[in-house]
Structure 1
Amino acid sequence: MARSIVPTGREIFFEPSEIIVSKTDLKGRLIYVNDVFMRIAGYSERELLGEQHSIIRHPDMPRTVFKVLWETLHGGQEIFAYVKNMAKSGDHYWVLAHVTPSLDASGNVIAFHSNRRVPSRKAVDAIAPVYDEVLRVEDGHRNAKEGLAAGARYLGNFIKAKKTSYDELVLSL
């Protein structure tokens, strides 16, 4: 699905009692979305199923965060992450994502399941400047590969300086 959605700068919210749920195949294509996902993102089920989960990726999100996410998941581990998503309207919404690999009877990763909840405003205010800096580092390189490597180094050094792990950082906010 070709998209040329422009961010509006408007933030939208969902209720703390609501959970955005999706499931993807190993390549990140959506195979399940719940009603909350569709309502907040502004897409129909037909528009979403089979599409890459990145259909809701906001351009303010550094690719480095998704690199960490995918590496963790493909390693068979769960991950928590704060993510700024973009609705079909161009509006954005923040989530605290808990993403887990789905395993078959032999322990092989066969899909990924994500639950997203309303994050605290304090956490969003703390992580947004970190993401802004990682994105600035990524964008400061001549190509995407070098930018991603530099962003990963920056985030790794930031986490190391905090004497923590990525998960511990996220859960401490």
Structure 2
Amino acid sequence: MKTPIVPTVNEVFFPDNELIVSKTDLKGRITYANKTFCSIARYEEAELLGQPHSIIRHPDMPRAVFKLLWDTLDDGREIFAYVKNMNKVGDYYWVFAHVTPSRDKHGNIIGYHSNRRTPRRDIVADVITPLYASILREEQAHRNGQEALVAGFNFVVDFLRSRSTTYDELIFSL
């Protein structure tokens, strides 16, 4: 049985001129991880391959954000998102992710490709962290996992509607 990773309060960084790159299959299992990904996540490539991409999911990340991400990808569209990840020893790191469907020569989605770069620190501190904390509080107010996900997603939808914007427009306005 695998020992759960306990989050620390230590933030780690990767150079602004580097990208974290990964590819997954249709189920979100890692099929490729570049050197920067392995380094910041503190995993050997062999430890990552075949694992769900959620292996680096930080518990501070609202499930509703991932629902939005997967709904967008399932619709065949790309998405940009701020994500807080957790490495093998529990340290965290923020990324600005660009995730796209990978297609075969017939246009069928066969997996996903993600490039992550360093995010702007002011956006993470002033906008994303408080927003995600609010979504997470909404999710945690529900005992049932499905109800929590629906409540968190509805929070995101209401937040965007109250600002007369879409998720994409919000992200690109920051």
Is structure 2 residue 136 aligned with structure 1 residue 111? no
Q: Which residue of structure 1 aligns with residue 153 of structure 2?
A: 152
Q: Which residue of structure 1 aligns with residue 6 of structure 2?
A: 6
Please list every run of at least 4 consecutive aligned residues from structure 1 whose deviation after the TM superposition is greater than 6 angstroms: none
Question: What amino acid does structure 1 have at the position aligned with 2:27?
Answer: K
1:1-173 counterparts in 2 under 5 A?
2-125=2-125, 126-173=127-174
CA RMSD after TM alignment: 1.0
Aligned pairs, how many?
173
Structure 2, unpaired ranges of 5+: none
Question: What amino acid does structure 2 have at the position aligned with 1:38?
Answer: C
Cα distance in 2 between the residues matched to 1:169 and 1:7: 29
Cα distance in 1 between the residues matched to 2:157 and 2:69: 13
1:159 is displaced (CA, Å) by 0.8
Cα displacement string for residues 100-127 of structure 1 (whole angstroms, at most 9, x for unaligned residues)? 0011122111010000000001110111
Cα distance in 1 between the residues matched to 2:22 and 2:172: 21
What is the TM-score when the length of structure 2 is the normalising length? 0.97
Structure 1, unpaired ranges of 5+: none
1:167 is displaced (CA, Å) by 1.3
1:3 is displaced (CA, Å) by 4.3
Query: Secondary structure in 1 aligned to 2:114?
Result: strand
Question: What amino acid does structure 2 have at the position aligned with 1:57?
Answer: R
Cα distance in 2 between the residues matched to 1:130 and 1:118: 19
Question: What amino acid does structure 2 have at the position aligned with 1:113?
Answer: H
